[in-house]
Structure 1
Amino acid sequence: MSSTRLNYWLEFAFTGGLAIALLGTGVERHRGSWFAAFATVLAGLVAFSFIEYLFHRWIFHGPDSMYRRGHDAHHLDPRGYDALPFFLPSAILIGLTLAFAVFMPMSHACLLGGAIAFGYVGYGLSHFAIHAMRFRQPWLRRWAASHHIHHHHEDANFGVTTPLWDHLLGTRYQGRKRPPAARDRADN
C-alpha cells in the first residue's frame, strides 16, 4: 500500500491509459456485431461492479492483511491518499485480459478488460469525489451519503459506484426502524 499523492494519481493515469488502450484495441480488432461489442463492454462494467463489491466486502473488510490495514487507514482518514501501488491494478488487468483471451476472441477480451479498467478508474474518481466534494444535486447527495454511511456502519453499503450488489446480497444499510407510535409523536 502507498499513501502518497503521486502514487494515488499515477494509479489513475496508468489504469486510465490502459482502459483507453484496451477499449481502442478491442474496437479496432472487432469484426463482429456491434451489439455483441456493446454487450461485452456492458458485461465488463457489471463485472467490475461485482469485483468492487467483492474486494471491498471480503478483502478490504476481511481478515487482517496489508489490504485490510490499508483500508482501515482510509476509514481513519477518508481524505487521505491510501491506494494500491500505482502499477498493480494495471498489471492485474493486463493479466486478466490475457486470461480472457484464452476463452474468447482477442477483441472481446480487450473490450471486457478495458471496460473493467474503465470501471476501476470510475470507481476511484467517484470515491475521491465522494470524500472531497459536497454535492448539490439530491441524487448525488443520496449516492454519496450511502458511502458515508458505510464509514459509520462498516458491515453495510460496500458498493461505492452502485448499490446493486448490496441490494442483491442483503448488505444495504436499512437504518433503525422507529415503532409507529414514536413516528406519530415525532410527526406532531
Structure 2
Amino acid sequence: MAASNKWLISSLAYYLDFFTVPLLIMVALLIGPVLFWQMVAGVLIWSFVEYAMHRFLFHSLYRREHWTHHVDVLALIGISSWKTSAAFLALVVLFQALGMASLIAGVMLGYLAYISVHYVMHRPEHPLYRFIPGLVRNHDLHHQRGVEKNFGVSSPLWDHILGTYVAVSHAELSEGVGSKAR
C-alpha cells in the first residue's frame, strides 16, 4: 500500500497540542466543579475513542493516510493541533455549561496521555521510553504488516475487552520485535 502525504503537517501543527491541551485541562478544572469520578470517566471515554478511531477509522476509512505512519513513524502526520485545540476549547465551554467540566478535563487528560505515550514509544532515545516496554511491544507488533490487532496505544484495555489484543510471543521477542522503534 502506498503512503499518503495528505496528513503531513508542520512542526507547529504537530506539537501545539502538547502546550494547549494542558492549558485547557487547567481551564476546565478552574471553572469546575472538580469531580474525581468525572475525570476518571473522561479518561475511560478517551481510551475508548482512541481505540475506536484507530481501529475503525485509521485502519479502514483512512487506511492509506494512516499507513504513512506505519511506513515512517517519525513523520509529522496527524490531525492538526489547531483543529483539536479548537474542538477541545468548544467542548470545555459546552461541558462547563452542563456542569461536567471535569469530564472533558478527563477526556483531554486521556488524549494528552495518548499523544505523549505515542510520541515516546517511537523514540527509544527518549528518557521515558524505558518505562513503557509493554506498550512499546504491543505497538511494535501492531505495526507489523498484516497484524490488525493491538489498536490501543496508551492502554490495551479495549483490546482485551473487545478481543483484539495479541501478546508478543517469546519467538517474536527473540527475533527482535519490540526491541526497536518502528
Q: TM-score, normalised to structure 2's length?
A: 0.78
Partners in 2 of 1:22 and 1:151 — Cα distance? 35
1:129 partner amino acid: V
Q: Give the counterpart of 1:147 among 139, 143, 153.
A: 139
Q: Does 1:94 align with 2:89?
A: yes
Write 1 or 2 for the structure with the bigger share of helix: 1
Is the CA contact (8 Å cut-off) linking 2:28 and 2:96 kept in structure 1?
no
| Pair 1:136–1:98, CA change in 2 (3 A) | closer
CA deviations over 1:118-165 (Å, ceiling 9, x no partner)? 21111101000000125445xx21221111111015410000111000
| Pair 1:92–1:127, CA change in 2 (3 A) | same
Q: Give the counterpart of 1:51 among 35, 49, 52.
A: 49
Consecutive unaligned residues in structure 1, runs of 5 or more = 179-188
1:127 maps to what in 2? 118
Is the CA contact (8 Å cut-off) linking 2:29 and 2:105 kept in structure 1?
yes
2:45 partner amino acid: A
Q: Does 1:73 align with 2:68?
A: yes
Partners in 2 of 1:136 and 1:10 — Cα distance? 25
CA deviations over 1:64-112 (Å, ceiling 9, x no partner)? x4xx33321111101121121111112222344455457x42xxx2111
Structure 1 segments, 4+ long, off by >3 Å, are 94-102, 134-137, 174-178
How far residue 5 of structure 1 moved from its aligned partner, in angstroms, is 1.9
1:21 maps to what in 2? 27
2:38 maps to what in 1? 40
Partners in 1 of 2:15 and 2:91 — Cα distance? 22
Is the CA contact (8 Å cut-off) linking 2:92 and 2:101 kept in structure 1?
yes
How far residue 176 of structure 1 moved from its aligned partner, in angstroms, is 6.9
Partners in 2 of 1:157 and 1:136 — Cα distance? 20
2:157 maps to what in 1? 164
Partners in 2 of 1:78 and 1:17 — Cα distance? 27
Query: Matched residues, percent identical?
Result: 31
Aligned-residue RMSD, C-alpha: 2.4
How far residue 18 of structure 1 moved from its aligned partner, in angstroms, is 1.4
